[in-house]
């Protein structure tokens, strides 16, 4: 019996198929994003103390790199502490459409959906 000795990496963030499709569209629509990878991060600010951010970027030494539906995602070590288990989705609707972040670590989220309290 063969066992898998590869260590399992806990997903820091998860990208839904809808979000991955939208990321591919954004990458193909802007030549500045060519060769770059989606970075999901948190930083201080916003109405609840911390806020989410997403940007196309290049990999850094301490980044965690994950792949979902053919789309690579980068998360720095600082952000990983706040994002573990987070899901990024994309909703295409007239009211409240766009990327939606569901973070199980957020004690409280702001109505804007871009800010949270850790």
Q: What is the pLDDT of residues 67-90, one digit of tens each?
A: 999 999 999 999 999 899 999 999
Contact residues for 76 (Cβ-Cβ < 8 A; gap 6+):
39, 41, 60, 62, 63, 64
What would the CATH number be for the domain defined by 13-117? 2.60.300.12
First to last CA, the chain: 44
- Give dist(CA 51, CA 27) in Å, integer: 23
Q: How confident is the model at residue 110 (pLDDT cuts 50, 70, 90)?
A: low
pLDDT band at 63 (very low <50, low <70, confident <90, very high): very high
Every domain of the chain and the residues it spans: 13-117
pTM of the model: 0.79
């Amino acid at each position: 019996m063969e066992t898998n000795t590869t260590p399992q990496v806990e997903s820091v963030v998860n990208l839904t198929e809808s979000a991955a499709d939208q990321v591919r569209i954004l990458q193909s629509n802007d030549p500045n994003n060519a060769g770059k990878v989606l970075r999901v991060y948190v930083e201080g600010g916003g109405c609840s103390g911390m806020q989410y951010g997403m940007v196309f970027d290049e990999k850094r030494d301490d980044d965690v790199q994950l792949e979902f539906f053919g789309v690579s995602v980068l998360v720095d070590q600082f952000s990983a502490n706040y994002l573990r288990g987070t899901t990024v989705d994309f909703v295409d609707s007239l009211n409240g459409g766009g990327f939606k972040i569901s973070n199980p670590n957020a004690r409280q989220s702001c109505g804007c959906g871009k800010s949270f309290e850790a």
